[in-house]
Structure 1
Amino acid sequence: MRSWPVPAVPSLSGDGIPLSLYDTADDEVRRVRTDWPSGEVGIYVCGITPYDSTHLGHAATYVTFDLVHRQLLDNGHRVHFVENITDVDDPLFERAERDGVDWRDLGTSQINLFRSDMEALSVIPPREYIGAMESVNEVIDLITRLLEVGAAYILDDEYADIYVDHTFTPRFGYESRYDALTMAEFFAERGGDPERAGKRHPLDALVWRVHRDGEPAWEAPFGAGRPGWHVECSAIATNRLGSSFAIQGGGRDLRFPHHEFSAAHAEAALGCERMADHYVHTGMIGLDGTKMSKSLGNLVFVSKLTAAGHDPSAVRLGLYVHHYREDRDWSDAVLDAAEARLARWRDAAAVADALPVDIAAPLVGAVRQALADDLDTPTVLHLIDSWCDTVVPETGATESPATGGAGAGAELRTLCDALLGVRL
């Protein structure tokens, strides 16, 4: 599947600082492993189900992993970034039926909008952007392997759907660290089917749904049908990054069941101990104090913000005010403050064009250090704010000269562009 254009990412002078991130499974901040046999750092981020436009919850997740991508590039690493898109799934069918449109047309329109939003936000695209429909044969191969090793079983009923026994991998639960009661609650809330008759255990997850009337289907040795959600990511990730790779990422709501099961499926089929070395999750975005959700109808869409004339760099700055792992709120006040900050930084960069470039060196080092410490963007904003407050009075200037000089202002622009995806 086509992704979107690659933004120009400038090279920053000096040396990067190795990145450490919080790992959900180990409950600690630790160094991201970069010494993989492939010579590349593999990242897999779960993409959208294209039944609605890109809202700020989506944007917060993809901007966060864009920061991860940028820090690794700044350290000189080759990054193999893979992202899926769940272009065949129940929510897509339900929305299409509600709106009286073909589900394929709905998906295509939302995927195109997502691409344009990511381009506007200067998000570096994945090297491989893979739709569920184009990976069905890979999923069939993985399910075949799960059946061969005894991890999967076929229900003895009229449909003969295929499920995976979640107890097959003895470490099941290591990724989310949730207790059994919490797992059962989230499984029921987030697409699971605990009440399905014939399963060995309520927590066992669907990997192949045998064809029903009115649904798309693909031929398979075990009967025509379509993949379950979790196994799609298992197949897409491991077929491109190997049975183990550096980072699996997504929103905190994917911690369980999606990431737990996608890891367990891969580990059961491929015999690896741990699919990802880091499991990284972003917090949720609220609007004016209320959780942002489709059901409440209080979503803020990236496309509508940019159509209204708001600078995508200001949107990124608004998302950086709080740490990526925090649940945080969006409001007009947040956006107004971000736009004022962006204007202040641009003015300071213009003034600093007349200053020696080495004046910015301590700032570059401090920003690198803050980002290397689990993407500490609130500290980054404070550091740059303070530098701008110091630099502008130093010149005594009351009006900004033309931008684009080669002094400290140019270094600030490069810093913000290279590491933050913010264009001054």
Structure 2
Amino acid sequence: MDAVFSEDDRPFLNEALLVDTGERRILFEAHQYINRETVRSISLGKTQGLRRGMEVRRTGRFVEVPVGEPMLGRVVNLLGEPMDGKGMIVSDLKFPIHRESPTLQSQIVQPEVYETGIKVIDLLSPFIRGGKVGLFGGAGVGKTVLLMEFIYKAVKVYAGVSVFAGVGERIREGHELYEEMKRTGVIDHTVIVLGQMNEPPGVRFRVSMTALSISEYFRDIKGRDVLLLMDNIFRFVQAGSEVSALLGRVPSRSGYQPTMFSEISEIEERITSTESGSITSVQAVYVPADDITDPAITAIMPHLDTVVILSRNIASKGLYPAVDPLRSRSKLLSPELVGVEHYEVARKVKETLSRYNELQDIIAMLGIDELTPEDRLLVSRARKLERFLTQPFFLTEPFTGKPGRHVALRDTIRGCRNILEGKYDDVDERKFYMIGTEREL
């Protein structure tokens, strides 16, 4: 929408603008100056009823959303308005969705392991408390299931607060998410913020900022440790591309908006630990056509402390979570930060799985009997490791009939070390599938 103001009363960029159609009020956000008097803005809601010549009013502030304890257990939209039919949210405090990232002096940079209780992640791609984690994968490899499991662990194990941002979510998925959270009993400690797939691009582009502001309240005012989950950050990039096209910007050669890097940075730089508390972010990242070299993917990756890549090939074998242990990585995985034992076991696990991967073609063409005795033993241990690193989730209990497992990191390290050292060479590999610790063998 283009609106004309007097030159001395021109809105500032990102200011919230208001149009009253008589039936409802529509909120816009100023994005671009066309000339000294004309401002181009992006709609933050449906535009039915909007007509040329309507009055546009300045608000003199950024878009603001309610924050605080009343938000827990609620499903809200970009503006913090309820979507769950539970009535209005009464909160005395509001935060703008545009906020400065914490100063360098107030940030805490001492890395600390955030245990998830998921073996393959804790061992090979450990999370950093107050860090940023990306779950990369194509459609149908388990990104959302993993996110839901993290919410369950954050509430049940750490007694923390979770904020879920559904960026470009399908309406069906948003409903399923809400019902699943009610079933598992985590909804009372969670805020769900949805900018659904049918919403205008401005809504999908800004909904992650609403979730961030709510998270910052619990971190800065309440001193809580917050788990912020975004599904899907790639949809944020797509929405930014649509907004960029509406503003008339020329796309880059790759087809994305020229401001993509700065838009991603604006989100990522606000996610950090401070002296008050921490925000640990887990972001699902859809990989278009399974192309990990896509410009949007490569723009997101440098901001992340941990990269977890979900593999369609591993999922096809029935190995869940379908984490690719050789392509996933974490900045935390060094002997100085996780300890020598953890680092050495993780390194040997990766070496064993890498060598097994190299032998796959020989096994496929000639059979396993053509391998040397040493390689046959390595293959046997690698297959046991693959299966030991699977585990049942609490979220999937109703579908699999297997109770979920939360496995302590020390138990994961001990189990993998014993497999590598040959303690279980005589045990059938099938017994390692979907168990928690080695004590279940």
Please, what TM-score do these two structures have when normalized by structure 2? Answer: 0.24
Please, what TM-score do these two structures have when normalized by structure 1?
0.24
